[in-house]
């Protein structure tokens, strides 16, 4: 018998591979060495060939690919409770809060959000940074935490004056572009991409953020695509999110937002449409034809109360859709469950069709399909030899997850981020026995409380109604 090869880790349990065959290996094992997955198979076979420095998991554990959050804002961790049940909240509550925060405040917020995500098994986050002053601090915090991130930065070059429904008797929607701002911000985007593509271990992947159709000129969209293609990067935009945005697009372009981006040539395989809640059949077909992707945040559908994204129709048309937490709930296992319930209600109930959207579909959208959404399917999203060792161990030895004849089904329907025990990113442990390795949770919590107390007067003053109708007894 040949001597066993030394490896960094063996991870044991029910292995949910998410490979092309959708293999689930009971009494399975994943061998990890030098940041990569070396082998995946039956525990007995793997242990016969490899000897680990450390073993994780056990017979009542699930071993899964690292989960991927396709949309979030790390600077908004402390805003979410102030936006609850008070609409509209994006421009009235969330963005003013970000403007009021300095770079160190952004660090605190990012630390809170990353702590939540890592402990729930999220190994990769797609961060959309809306405030230029926060970019460097957020990037540094990501790197310190050990997490992987696709980080999209970028500002707008257009100021839109919107004539709402009640103003249209006397006013008209209009916009003014700033060519100087376009040149300046694209230069910053290029510097950002070159800096991070050359730095570190490749865990931070730089992308470009086009802030939305009301905030960006056609030239901004087109030059952004050109720049992203030059550096093999990608582009994200909040698009087709609310009725006002569609009204603005119709008033200024004579087309709906995604229709207009398709007309000018801004939809392409490296483009991710964030939300895309209000999409027509025509727009879905445009996404499919161009290869553009969608980042779907089901909780945002309830937070914004705009529409339920037509995920089932998108997937049927061949559009790749990934799941996003989008600040509000950063437990992606719960987000999978919300997606399953939401799309079963929207599609399965009217048609009496229990397989229009399944727990497996929700799980795909947080793993394999999420990786494809971010252009990372060759590196992450499944447990296969040669891929980066982003791996999650989940304790299934509890009354919610056992017995588990259908591991994905029970995890999506009954699981929670608190079931996650261990997390590897690039083969390095970032969560150990449910505790963060690179961030001090006590310090993060103390700083978050202080920051929240400072932000509270700003945020409560901007609400239309009190934060709660229930009296607080002091």
Q: What is the pLDDT of residues 326-362, one digit of tens each?
A: 998 999 999 999 999 999 999 988 888 889 999 999 9
The per-residue pLDDT for range 370-406, each reduced to its tens digit, is 999 999 999 999 999 999 999 999 999 999 999 999 9
Q: Give pTM, 2 decimals.
A: 0.96
Q: Is the dihedral of CA 245, 71, 267, 280 positive or negative?
A: negative
Long-range contacts formed by 38-43: CB under 8 A, 24+ apart:
38/7, 38/385, 39/385, 40/15, 40/383, 40/384, 40/385, 43/12
123-133 pLDDT, tens digit per residue, is 999 999 878 88
Q: Which domains does the chain have, with CATH numbers?
A: 5-65+384-432 (2.30.40.10), 67-373 (3.20.20.140)
- The yes-or-no verdict on residue 474 having pLDDT over 60 is no
In this predicted structure, what is the pLDDT of residue 317?
98
**DSSP three-state, residue 167:** coil
Residue 399 exposed, middle or buried by CB count within 10 Å (0-12, 13-18, 19+): exposed
Residue 438, pLDDT > 80, answer yes
For 265-304, give one letter per residue: b (16+ CB within 10 A) or e. Answer: ebbeebbbbbbbbbbeeebbbbbbebebbbbbbbbbbebb
From the list 257, 249, 311, 258, the residue with the least C-alpha distance to 289 is: 258
For residue 28 the two structure tokens come to: 């399975």
The yes-or-no verdict on residue 98 having pLDDT over 90 is no
What are the residue ranges of helices labelled H in 421-469? 441-461
Rounded Cα distance between 56 and 47, Å, is 13
Higher pLDDT among residues 97 and 293, named by residue: 293
The whole-number average pLDDT for the span 434-462 is: 91
Of 207, 74, 228, the C-alpha closest to 144 is 74
Residues 6+ apart with CB under 8 A from 396: 13, 14, 60, 61, 62, 402, 404, 407, 410, 411, 419
- Comparing 462 with 31, which gets the higher pLDDT? 31
Mean pLDDT, the chain, rounded, equals 93
Please give the pLDDT value at position 102: 92
What confidence score (pLDDT) does residue 169 get? 66
């Amino acid at each position: 018998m040949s001597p066993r090869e030394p490896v960094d880790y063996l991870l044991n349990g029910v292995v949910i591979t998410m490979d092309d065959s959708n293999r689930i290996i009971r009494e399975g094992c994943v061998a990890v060495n030098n940041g990569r997955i070396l082998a995946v198979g039956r525990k007995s076979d793997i242990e016969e060939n490899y000897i680990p420095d450390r073993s994780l998991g056990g017979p009542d554990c699930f071993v899964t690919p690292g989960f991927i959050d396709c949309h979030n804002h790390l600077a908004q961790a402390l805003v979410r409770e102030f936006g609850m049940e008070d609409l509209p909240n994006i421009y009235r509550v969330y963005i003013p809060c970000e403007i009021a925060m300095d770079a160190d405040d952004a660090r605190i917020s990012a630390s809170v959000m990353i702590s939540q995500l890592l402990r729930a098994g999220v190994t990769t986050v797609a961060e959309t940074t809306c405030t230029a002053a926060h970019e460097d601090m957020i990037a540094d915090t990501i790197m310190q935490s050990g997490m992987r991130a696709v980080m999209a930065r970028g500002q707008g070059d257009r100021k839109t004056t919107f004539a709402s429904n009640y103003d249209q008797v006397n006013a008209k929607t209009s916009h003014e572009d700033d060519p100087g701002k376009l040149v300046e911000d694209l230069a910053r985007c290029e510097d950002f991409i070159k800096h991070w593509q050359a730095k570190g271990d490749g865990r931070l992947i730089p992308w470009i953020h086009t802030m939305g159709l009301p905030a960006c000129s056609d030239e901004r969209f087109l030059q952004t695509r050109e720049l992203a293609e030059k550096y093999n990067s990608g582009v994200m935009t909040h698009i087709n999110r609310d009725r006002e945005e569609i009204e603005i697009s119709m008033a200024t372009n004579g087309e709906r937002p995604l229709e207009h981006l398709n007309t000018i040539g801004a939809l392409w395989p490296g483009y991710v449409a964030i939300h895309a809640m209000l999409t027509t059949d025509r727009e879905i077909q445009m996404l499919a034809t161009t290869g553009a992707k969608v980042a779907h945040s089901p909780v945002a559908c309830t937070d914004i109360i705009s529409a339920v994204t037509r995920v089932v129709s998108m997937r049927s048309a061949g559009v790749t859709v990934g799941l996003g937490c989008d600040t509000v709930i950063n437990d992606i296992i719960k987000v999978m469950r919300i997606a399953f319930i939401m799309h079963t209600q929207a599609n399965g109930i009217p048609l009496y069709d229990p397989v229009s959207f399944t727990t497996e579909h929700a799980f795909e959208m947080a793993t394999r399909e999420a990786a494809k959404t971010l252009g990372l399917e060759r590196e992450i999203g499944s447990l296969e030899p040669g891929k980066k060792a982003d791996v999650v161990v989940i304790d299934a030895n509890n009354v919610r997850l056992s017995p588990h004849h259908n591991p994905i089904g029970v995890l999506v329907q009954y699981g929670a981020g608190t079931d996650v025990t261990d997390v590897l990113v690039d083969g390095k442990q970032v969560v150990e026995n449910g505790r963060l390795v690179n961030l001090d949770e006590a310090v993060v919590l103390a700083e978050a409380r202080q920051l929240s107390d400072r932000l509270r007067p700003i945020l409560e003053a901007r609400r239309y109604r009190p934060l709660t109708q229930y009296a607080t007894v002091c």
